[in-house]
Chain A
């Protein structure tokens, strides 16, 4: 158990809908990362937050947005969902968010868009 929690574990929804994925980092970690894992694209970095502020951005679609709240939990919002958004979404956390920190991954949320 990494200490990172994600809810829900599974999510099934329809095209065009909007969903929110939630992540609680390990106690004491200030940085949160979001990743998407699909069979064809592998594990792709989406976005990083540090203590409430956006720190780094990957190839995150405009339909996706995220935030980190004062209690350090984070939410990833996915809107206007398409079939291709079906994937495993992982949240990870680290202490300071610096490059040499190991990242602790949560169990993931499996999103299925029908």
Chain B
């Protein structure tokens, strides 16, 4: 069966360090992978999208990698700050078009806490 797993339910790190979150998937052939941030009681906020033919994407302190051989995406936050504390969700879109369109399948999320 299809599965998306984010490796840790919770990750605690010290301010200034790099946070690395993992998203693994099985029985998918995603065309796109997206990362979202969600704060308690609020809707997810889009952070980055990476395509299947891209290895890496960066935006300010954020970096995403996508390895379709390992079926894994890594999400990095460098120079982390307490304000980065939130739940981070990875989401897949299984096909580039067809009947999947914008149907996102989300992982369970990783709760990141950055300690001052």
Contacts and interface: CB of A to CB of B under 8 A. Distances in A.
A30 to B, nearest CB: 11
B90 to A, nearest CB: 11
A56 B101 contact: yes
**Which residue, B45, B102, B103, has most C-beta atoms of chain A within 10 A?**
B102
A2 B100 contact: no
Contacts of A48: 101-103
B13 to A, nearest CB: 23
A56 B105 CA distance: 12
Contacts of A107: 42-43
Interface stretch (A66-74, A75-83, A92-100): A92-100
Taking residues whose C-beta sits less than 8 angstroms from the other chain, chain A's interface range is: 20 to 34
A101 B43 contact: no
Interface string B88-116: 01000101110111111111110000000
Interface centre among B43, B93, B95, B99 (most CB of A within 10 A): B43
A102 B43 contact: no
Contacts of A106: 43
A68 to B, nearest CB: 13
Interface in A1-49: 2, 4, 31, 33, 42-45, 48
A100 B104 CA distance: 10
Contact of B96 (A33, A99, A105): A99
Interface string B32-50: 1010100001111110010
Q: What are the nearest 4 A-B pairs in CB distance?
A: A105-B43, A102-B46, A43-B106, A99-B93
5 contacts: A48-B102, A97-B101, A99-B97, A100-B32, A108-B43
